[in-house]
A = this chain, B = another copy of it.
Amino acid sequence: MRRYLVATTAAACVLGGPLAASELRDEALEYFQPLPSTLMAPADNTVTPEKIALGKALFFDPRMSASGVFSCNSCHNLATGGDDNLETSIGHGWQKGPRNSPTVFNAVFNIAQFWDGRAEDLKAQAKGPVQAAVEMANTPENVVATLISMPQYVAWFEGAFPGESAPVTFDNFARAIEAYEVTLTTPAPFDAFLNGNEEALDEQQKAGLQLFMDAGCVACHSGINVGGHDYYPFGLIEKPGADILPEGDIGRFAVTETADDEYVFRAAPLRNIAETAPYFHSGRVWGLHEAVQIMSESQLGAEMASGDVELIVAFLGSLTGAIPEVVLPALPAETGTTPKPTAQVMAE
Q: A86-B69, A328-B326, A344-B88 are in contact. Are A80 and B94 (CB under 8 A)?
A: no
A325 on the interface (CB 8 Å rule)? yes
A323 on the interface (CB 8 Å rule)? yes
| Copies of this protein chain in the complex | 2
Q: Pick from A58-66, A174-182, A243-251 the stretch touching chain B.
A: A58-66
A78 on the interface (CB 8 Å rule)? yes
Q: In the bound complex, how far is the Cα of B69 from the Cα of A67, in angstroms?
A: 15
Q: In the bound complex, how far is the Cα of B274 from the Cα of A168, in angstroms?
A: 24
Q: A96-B347, A328-B328, A347-B90 are in contact. Are A333 and B274 (CB under 8 A)?
A: yes
Within 8 A of B (CB), among A299-342: 323, 325-331, 333-334, 336, 340-341
A85 on the interface (CB 8 Å rule)? yes
Q: Please state if B94 and A336 are interface contacts (CB–CB under 8 Å).
A: no
A6 on the interface (CB 8 Å rule)? no
Q: A326: which B residues are within 8 A, CB to CB?
A: 327-328
A286 on the interface (CB 8 Å rule)? yes
Q: A60-B79, A331-B79 are in contact. Are A94 and B347 (CB under 8 A)?
A: yes
A343 on the interface (CB 8 Å rule)? yes
Q: A80-B62, A94-B93, A274-B333 are in contact. Are A68 and B85 (CB under 8 A)?
A: yes
> Chain B's nearest CB lies how many Å from the CB of A294?
16
Pull 12 A–B residue pairs with CB atoms less than 8 Å apart, ordered by A.
A62-B85, A63-B85, A69-B84, A90-B347, A95-B347, A96-B343, A274-B333, A275-B333, A277-B334, A326-B327, A327-B327, A327-B328
Q: In the bound complex, how far is the Cα of B330 from the Cα of A286, in angstroms?
A: 20
Q: A274-B333, A344-B88, A347-B90 are in contact. Are A328 and B78 (CB under 8 A)?
A: yes
Q: In the bound complex, how far is the Cα of B77 from the Cα of A323, in angstroms?
A: 21
> Chain B's nearest CB lies how many Å from the CB of A233?
26
Within 8 A of B (CB), among A36-83: 60-63, 67-69, 74, 77-81
Q: A69: which B residues are within 8 A, CB to CB?
A: 74, 84, 86, 90
Q: Please state if B79 and A344 are interface contacts (CB–CB under 8 Å).
A: no
A191 on the interface (CB 8 Å rule)? no
Q: Please state if B347 and A286 are interface contacts (CB–CB under 8 Å).
A: no
What 4 pairs across the A-B complex have the smallest Cβ distances? A96-B347, A94-B94, A326-B328, A275-B333
**Highest count of chain B CB atoms <10 Å: which of A80, A86, A333:** A80
